[in-house]
């Protein structure tokens, strides 16, 4: 209050810039995360074809980096890594879709 009364400006009430809360797993950098995700879980002796967040958490825990799934998802997003479910795409269009739907499909 004394600072505001002395300066009488809104800037006098502003807080100084802060660093924020320290990271829980500082050793888990974006580069290390990219390196782990590039590899195959099968090569790391996991019975899976692709990484999932729970599997990645367990793998990192065995390497000495304990991180929650929520934090890992946030770190993956910060590193620019995204995973989307693959969608089935037909190789070719159906040759006669009207015949397949039935006689009353055009009504």
Q: What's the CA gap between 25 and 93, in Å, rounded?
A: 49
The reply to whether 106 falls in a domain is: no
The reply to whether 20 falls in a domain is: no
pTM, rounded to two decimals: 0.60
The reply to whether 52 falls in a domain is: yes
The reply to whether 58 falls in a domain is: yes
The reply to whether 45 falls in a domain is: yes
pLDDT (0 to 100) of residue 59: 95
The reply to whether 8 falls in a domain is: no
Share of the chain above pLDDT 90, in %: 38
The reply to whether 47 falls in a domain is: yes
| Domain containing residue 41 | 29-82
Q: What's the CA gap between 96 and 46, in Å, rounded?
A: 45
The reply to whether 88 falls in a domain is: no
The confidence band for 17, taking pLDDT boundaries of 50, 70 and 90, is confident
Domains contained in the chain, number:
1
The 10s digit of each residue's pLDDT in 64-80 is 999 999 999 999 999 99
């Amino acid at each position: 209050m004394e600072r505001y009364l002395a300066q009488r400006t809104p800037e006098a009430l502003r807080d100084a810039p802060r660093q924020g809360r320290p990271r829980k797993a500082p050793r888990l950098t974006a580069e290390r995360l990219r390196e782990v995700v590039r590899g195959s879980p099968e090569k790391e002796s996991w019975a899976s074809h692709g990484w999932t967040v729970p599997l990645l958490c367990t793998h990192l825990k065995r390497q000495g980096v304990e991180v929650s799934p929520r934090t890992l998802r946030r770190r993956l997003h910060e590193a620019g890594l995204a995973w989307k479910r693959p969608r089935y795409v037909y190789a070719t269009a159906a040759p006669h879709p009207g015949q397949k739907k039935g006689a009353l499909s055009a009504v």
